[in-house]
Chain A
Amino acid sequence: DTTVKQNPRYKLARVGKPVNLICSQTMNHDTMYWYQKKPNQAPKLLLFYYDKILNREADTFEKFQSSRPNNSFCSLYIGSAGLEYSAMYLCASSRLGGPNYAEQFFGPGTRLTVL
């Protein structure tokens, strides 16, 4: 099973309110990623977990948090949503090493709309 699941698929949030998005995978992948995708823009990496180590991109460091309570789950947390957070959020996972090195498996995404 090469499925990455994301919940919810659609999320409506109010400005200033927190948002928590969930991702899960059962492939025993050591790395999980979160990307933000806005219309007519490339998917942009926000952060990733390699095992238990969180790496956040410098330009979004303060805007997003994440947790990975176990190997299978990873969350993306926005403490106070702003209109600029409206986007599709894609979760992906991968395993280092082997023939599929660097191949990332993506979930279907969560569409976040902030009003």
Chain B
Amino acid sequence: GDSVTQTEGPVTLSEGTSLTVNCSYETKQYPTLFWYVQYPGEGPQLLFKVPKANEKGSSRGFEATYNKEATSFHLQKASVQESDSAVYYCALSDLTQGGSAKLIFGEGTKLTVSS
């Protein structure tokens, strides 16, 4: 079945340093790929999505490229801030027979940024 594997956490960084969270996926379909972010006390919220291979998504300084050949979707940010502390989930959508998009998540990577 479909699966998503991402960098095991937790990850601790100092403000101003760069971030890479690795994400690899397996599927026989042509999925849309997502990064979700979850702040303490809240549900996951969409950071950005990329529906097509070889395209890049970005938001709030984060970016990721849909690499179909490598089946990867790594999250990067050049300079993290304390406010980026959160759990980051990589996910892919699995279009069901009924047409409803089902999300398959990775385990999540907890990022803590210290000032």
Contact = CB atoms under 8 A, between A and B. Distances in A.
Contacts of A28: none
Contact of B43 (A4, A31, A50, A101): A4
A94 B99 contact: no
B53 interface: no
Contacts of A55: 96, 98, 100
Interface residues of B, number: 26
A41 B42 contact: no
B102 interface: yes
A7 interface: no
Given A4-B43, A43-B89, A108-B42, A96 B107 contact: no
B100 A108 contact: no
B43 A41 contact: no
Given A90-B43, A90-B44, A96 B102 contact: no
B107 A108 contact: no
B105 A31 contact: no
Contacts of A96: 99-101
B107 A45 contact: no
28 contacts: A31-B100, A33-B103, A40-B107, A42-B105, A42-B107, A42-B108, A43-B89, A43-B103, A45-B103, A45-B104, A48-B100, A55-B100, A90-B43, A94-B101, A96-B99, A96-B100, A101-B101, A102-B49, A102-B95, A102-B103, A103-B46, A103-B49, A104-B103, A106-B44, A106-B45, A107-B43, A108-B43, A109-B43
